[in-house]
């Protein structure tokens, strides 16, 4: 009998974890604007509903090419040495960020008035 109670508890814990993961994924809000900050100063705010391609001059003479396409934003290319910002890929959910530390540049998706 104790064996079945243990199995039931484990199954219940797995079910609760799966429900939590499902709810977290569906609770994420899509953003409609992206702020680009260089050295913590907003240099550009982009509407994610309008396809755009811009070049951002970051710190340390590093240029980044930022693209808005199909409601998401990504860094297409960067002159930084490690390319972590490029490898991050597309973001579109509120509070998601792309960070380029050498350029001191942050791209963050937000909800705002479009």
Rounded percentage of the chain residues whose pLDDT exceeds 90 = 68
Residue 3: Cβ within 10 Å count: 7
Q: What is the pLDDT of residues 32-47, one digit of tens each?
A: 999 999 999 999 999 9
Residue 28: predicted pLDDT: 65
> What band does 19 get if pLDDT is binned at 50, 70 and 90?
confident
Claim: this prediction has a pTM higher than 0.85: no
Domain boundaries, the chain: 1-30, 33-110
d(CA 10, CA 52): 49
Between β-strands 63-69 and 52-57, what pairing exists: parallel, antiparallel or unpaired?
antiparallel
Closest CA to 107 of 32, 28, 37: 37
Give the CA radius of gyration of the chain: 20
Q: What is the CATH number of domain 33-110?
A: 2.60.320.10
- Residue found by looking up tokens 């240029």 in the block: 63
Q: What is the pLDDT of residues 60-86, one digit of tens each?
A: 999 999 999 999 999 999 999 999 999
């Amino acid at each position: 009998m104790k064996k079945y109670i243990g199995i039931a508890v484990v199954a219940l814990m797995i079910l609760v974890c799966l429900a939590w993961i499902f709810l977290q994924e569906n609770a994420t809000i899509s953003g409609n604007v992206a702020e680009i900050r260089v050295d913590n100063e907003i240099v550009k705010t982009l509407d994610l509903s309008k396809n755009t391609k811009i070049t951002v001059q970051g710190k340390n003479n590093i240029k980044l090419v930022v693209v808005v396409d199909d409601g998401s934003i990504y860094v297409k290319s960067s002159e930084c040495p490690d390319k972590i910002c490029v490898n991050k890929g597309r973001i579109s959910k509120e509070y998601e960020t792309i960070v380029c530390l050498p350029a001191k540049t942050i791209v963050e998706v937000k909800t705002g008035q479009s």
